[in-house]
């Protein structure tokens, strides 16, 4: 289990010049950088890879950005643009040494509305078809893709791990996995730790964020149970701190960050990492003995 930091905490969009952040990430003690890549053209992948190597860091995950105009259940144009964007990102991932593309790949973030059961079924079938295309691409490239359930305010489509697992079942590709986020799970899962156990070896990424989108550990999430579940399943992927601040305005608006949650980005990163490493070192505790 390694620990990473998502670049949305610091900048949007991430471009080649933002390799200037890497020495700081290393000094803070992170193993990996999760690059939130809004367009493949924003970076020179070879330059990024060299900077990662120079700083003793890795990029295990590209975090996809599905904004307006990118939607696998949207208009034909939106589907086309989404598939084009995700395919272009996958093309440069090997240059970064990166194996995982993750995020809410199925829909534009913020699309949330009541639809009939019949309409939902049609949207589901459309996403199955389009994710199938991406999954086939991933298999050929030796990559993995992981879909992230979001909370009810950010999507009406996949909110829970059970829904994500159903999508995996329907697409039926060995390249497709699940990406869970403690913030979203805190809102949508009856029991976040049990959700991790249910996903099991199909969990490819965990985003760690406080229940208020702030520092992991300074919140009401039962992190003991989260790490019990991770350890029980033998999770060996990244635990990535993903939080947001009002200073990165476009992301703050998308995530509804209207106030300063923590004193600084350094507080989120450094204190959050310290807490998560402590949780990892505590070992296994029978989950039934832990307060929910």
In this predicted model, what pLDDT tens digit does every residue of 192-225 receive, in sequence order? 999 999 999 999 999 999 999 989 998 999 999 9
Catalytic residue among 38, 148, 154, 271: 148
pLDDT reading at 250 higher than 80 = no
pLDDT for residue 252 is more than 70:
no
State yes or no: is 34 an active-site residue: no
Per-residue pLDDT at 243 exceeds 60: yes
- Judged against a pLDDT cut of 60, whether residue 289 lies above it is answered with no
Whether the pTM exceeds 0.85: the reply is: yes
Which pLDDT belongs to residue 263? 79
pLDDT at 8 over 80: yes
**Over the stretch 145-189, which tens digit does the pLDDT of each residue have?**
999 999 999 999 999 999 999 999 999 999 999 999 999 999 999
Active site annotation includes 242: yes
Locate the domains of the chain by residue range: 2-289
Q: Which of 107-116, 152-161, 243-252 has the lowest mean pLDDT?
A: 243-252
pLDDT of residue 249: 63
Q: pLDDT at residue 90 above 70? A: yes
More confident residue, 253 or 211: 211
What's the confidence (pLDDT) of residue 269?
96
Under a CB-based contact definition with an 8 Å cutoff, are residues 123 and 157 in contact? yes
Q: Which of 34, 38, 188, 242 is catalytic?
A: 242
In words, the CATH class of domain 2-289 is: alpha beta
């Amino acid at each position: 289990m390694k620990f990473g930091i998502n670049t949305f905490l610091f900048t949007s969009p991430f471009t080649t010049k933002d390799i200037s952040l890497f020495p700081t990430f290393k000094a803070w003690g992170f193993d990996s950088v999760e690059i939130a890549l809004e367009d493949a053209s924003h970076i020179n992948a070879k330059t990024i890879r060299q900077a990662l190597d120079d700083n003793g860091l890795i990029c295990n995950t590209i975090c996809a950005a599905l904004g307006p105009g990118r939607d696998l259940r949207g208009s034909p144009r939106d589907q086309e643009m989404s598939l084009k964007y995700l395919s272009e990102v996958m093309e440069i991932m090997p240059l970064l040494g990166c194996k995982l593309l993750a995020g809410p790949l199925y829909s534009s973030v913020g699309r949330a509305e009541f639809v009939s059961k019949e309409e939902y079924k049609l949207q589901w079938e459309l996403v199955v078809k389009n994710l199938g295309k991406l999954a086939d691409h991933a298999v050929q490239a030796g990559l993995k893709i992981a879909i992230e359930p979001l909370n009810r305010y950010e999507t009406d489509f996949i909110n829970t791990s059970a829904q994500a697992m159903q999508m995996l079942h329907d697409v039926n590709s060995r390249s497709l996995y699940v990406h869970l986020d403690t913030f979203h799970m805190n809102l949508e899962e009856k029991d976040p730790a049990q959700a991790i156990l249910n996903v099991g070896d199909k969990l490819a990424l965990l985003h760690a964020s406080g229940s208020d989108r702030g520092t992991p550990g300074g919140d009401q999430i039962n992190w003991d149970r989260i790490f019990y579940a991770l350890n029980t399943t033998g999770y060996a992927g990244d635990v990535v701190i993903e939080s947001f601040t009002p200073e990165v305005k476009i992301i703050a608006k998308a995530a509804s960050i209207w106030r300063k949650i923590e004193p600084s980005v350094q507080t989120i990163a450094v204190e959050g990492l310290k807490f998560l490493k402590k949780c990892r070192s505590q070992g296994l505790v029978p989950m039934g003995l832990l307060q929910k």
